[in-house]
Structure 1
Amino acid sequence: MRVLITGAGGQLGRALQEAMSLHTLIPLARADLDVTDRAAVFRAILRARPDVVIHAAAMTDVDGCARDPEKAFQVNALGTQAVAMACVAAGAALVYISTNEVFDGTKREPYLEFDPPNPINPYGRSKWAGEWFVSHLLQRFYIVRTAWVFGPGGNHFIRKILRRADEQGALRVVHDEVGSPSYTRDVAAAIARLIETEAYGIYHFVNEGMCSRYEYAVEILRRTGRAHIPVTPISLAEFPRPSRVPPFTPLRNLCGAALGITLRPWPEALEAYLAEEGWLVG
């Protein structure tokens, strides 16, 4: 199978290349393809003649999207429209990587694939617009929502927590934002299995379980030999950000599990990642 990957230089893009290594890959990093350049998108996809395009390129800086919503929509919505239209022209299926932030966070149990999106910030709205283009322009598509992504090479929550812990010696972390940590290697492996099924639709690929940012930080510190560092729980209201935060957005993998595609619990994935980086203690 010929698989073209946009955003191939990102942490998920790199994991996808490893997971798809048995396929013929066309990896395109940001320097190779600007998804806001519609003509370039069409040239790249038509030239590559892929069977499947995995569209992982995105503006994922949530606060950056809040500061510049127009750019967020140019990249995440109109860029996705261009990729989807090029897939139609090339006869390729599309995997669109989306996010838990398409939900408003008011539900009190994990979100299913069938729950109606209602994004509350520019990042979520731009990604939801991308979902709209994919589902309305294509017949053969997979929308894969993930959340709180971490993996080698990324500037994610784990790295930020460890850096702040070492620099400051104490942390204040929000306790009322709850979600689903997701290891790039596990998400990529799930996507690799998914495209073999041709079971098109919407999927939630996150590591099993949920936690608050505070619980997540405490576990990170404990597993890296920093349990002595004090962590004070604070509310979202005490941690102002440019972007409005949906407070409760764990995702439940119902549709993937029906196909036999499941991801391990997030504490196991966290341990595997910390061991890979050489940070695991004990």
Structure 2
Amino acid sequence: MKILVTGVKGQLGYDVVKALESRGYQPVGVDREEMDLMNDHMIDNFIMNLKPEAIIHCAAYTAVDQAEEEVEICYQINAEAVKVIAECAKTLDIPMIYISTDYVFDGTKASEYVETDIPNPINVYGASKLKGEQYVQQLLEKFYIVRISWVFGINGNNFIKTMQRLGNEHDELNIIHDQVGSPTYTAHLAPLLVDMIETDQYGIYHATNEGYCSWYEFADEIFKQSQLDVMLHPITTDQYKTKAKRPLNSQMSKQKLSDYRFHRLPTWQEALKNYINQ
């Protein structure tokens, strides 16, 4: 079975290709050289010539602050290109997985977000990903929208690598303590996406590692597991100005995974340990 995987040079795309290969599939991993998401014609040509039997769309514009200035580029990659890919999936009558984000929510809910909650993004990146979700839902019946958050994997830059670098450079750090969510380890997520493509349990899912933490608590655990001695100071979002607003509550319920008999991911602490050991 030939499966197209976009964003193969990124953290998730890289691990999805590995997960597919381990189960005997024939993944075709592409990045902008083969299929530039800024070029609708190139996307259409590539997919219709390849004729895959499924698409796992991992590529995205993820520079959250930069997106506030590069609005058109962000929307082209995260929404308009998604529309073209979904149209190809519809023509070929194949399933598509679209990777979305906790940033489709505004973060004001007092409890966990469930899949049926009404999205209300508070930044350009979140709004562009929501538009992508809407195109997928409008065009396809065979779709999975998988919302993830705080992503980390071997193949790319992430919060853990940044903390380890800063921990080696500084004795003290200020870390935000009022944004709460779940880290998502791509090596744990990738097999779940392959599980999904093997079923017809279509719909929207939340899929992150189990448990919740603030960025401060995440950083603290990173330094403990990395055996770095760093004094951490908790600060609020108001004390750390960024171009894009961030949701304070990114807690997403994963109950739907259990309801549809998909396996839940290990705890974020286990995921961190696995990642650091690798």
TM-score where L is the length of structure 2: 0.97
In the alignment, which residue of structure 2 is the partner of 1:279? none
Contact 1:33 1:40 in 2 (8 A): yes
Does structure 2 conserve the Cα–Cα contact (< 8 Å) formed by 1:26 and 1:48?
A: no
- Matched AA of 1:274: I
Quote how far apart the aligned CAs of 1:260 are. 3.1
Q: How far apart are 1:164 and its partner, in Å?
A: 1.1
Q: Partner residue of 1:42?
A: 44
Q: 1:231 is matched with which residue?
A: 232
Please tell me the residue identity of whatever aligns with 1:83: I
Amino acid at match of 1:20: L
Deviation of 1:35 (Å): 1.6
Structure 2 match to 1:9: 9
Q: Distance in 2 between matches of 1:266 and 1:110?
A: 17
Question: What do residues 236-272 of structure 1 show as CA deviations (whole Å, max 9, x unaligned)?
Answer: 0010001101111121112212223211111011110
Give how far 1:110 is off: 1.7
Amino acid in the other structure paired with 1:112 = V
The 4+ residue runs of structure 1 with deviation greater than 2 A are none
Q: Distance in 2 between matches of 1:253 and 1:232?
A: 31
**Which residue of the partner structure matches residue 280 of structure 1?**
none
The residue type paired with residue 2 of structure 1 is K
Report the TM-score, using the length of structure 1 for normalisation.
Answer: 0.95
1:169 deviation in Å? Answer: 2.1
- AA aligned opposite 1:99: T
Q: What amino acid maps onto 2:90 in structure 1? A: V
CA distance in 2, matches of 1:213, 1:242: 18
Give the corresponding residue for 1:86.
88
Verify: 1:149 aligned to 2:151, yes or no: yes
CA change 1:139–1:64 in 2 (3 A) is same
Q: Is the 8 A contact 1:9 1:30 kept in 2?
A: no
Which residue of structure 1 lines up, in the alignment, with residue 25 of structure 2?
A: 23
* Letter of the 2:166 counterpart: R
**Distance between the aligned counterparts of 2:8 and 2:57, measured in 1?**
9
Identity percentage over the alignment?
Answer: 38
Q: Aligned to 2:217, which of 191, 207, 215?
A: 215
Kindly report which structure 2 residues correspond to 1:26-105, keeping only aligned pairs within 5 A, or say none: 26-105=28-107
Moved more, 123-132 or 163-172: 163-172
Instruction: Give the CA deviation at 1:153.
Output: 2.1
In the alignment, what sits opposite 1:193? 195
| In structure 2, C-alpha distance between the alignment counterparts of 1:85 and 1:204, rounded to whole Å | 24
Q: Is the 8 A contact 2:9 2:155 kept in 1?
A: no
Partner secondary structure for residue 50 of structure 1: coil
- The one of 259, 263, 267 equivalent to 1:261 is 263
- For residues 51 and 239 of structure 1, the distance between their equivalents in structure 2, rounded to whole angstroms, comes to 45
Give the Cα–Cα distance (whole angstroms) in 2 for the partners of residues 113 and 265 of structure 1.
20
Return the alpha-carbon distance in structure 1 between the equivalents of residues 151 and 125 of structure 2: 15
Structure 1 unaligned spans of 5+: 277-282
Deviations 1:97-122 (A, max 9, x none): 00010010011222111111110100
Note if 1:106 corresponds to 2:108: yes
The runs of 5 or more residues in structure 2 that have no matched partner are none
Q: CA deviation at 1:7?
A: 0.9
The residue type equivalent to 2:273 in the other structure is E
Aligned-residue CA RMSD in angstroms?
Answer: 1.0
Give yes or no for contact 2:95–2:197 (8 Å, CA) kept in 1.
no
User: Residue deviations 1:167-223, cap 9 Å, x none?
Assistant: 122110000011110000111011111111111000111001110000000000011
Give yes or no for contact 2:53–2:94 (8 Å, CA) kept in 1.
Answer: yes
Q: Match of 2:247? A: 246
Matched residue SS, 1:20: helix
Could you tell me how far 1:48 is from its partner in structure 2? Answer: 1.2
Contact 1:45 1:90 in 2 (8 A): no
Report which stretch shifted further, 255-264 or 73-82.
255-264
Q: Does 1:158 align with 2:160?
A: yes
Report how many aligned residue pairs link the two structures: 275
| Secondary structure at 1:72 match in 2 | helix
Task: Check the 8 A contact 2:152/2:159 in 1, yes or no.
Answer: yes
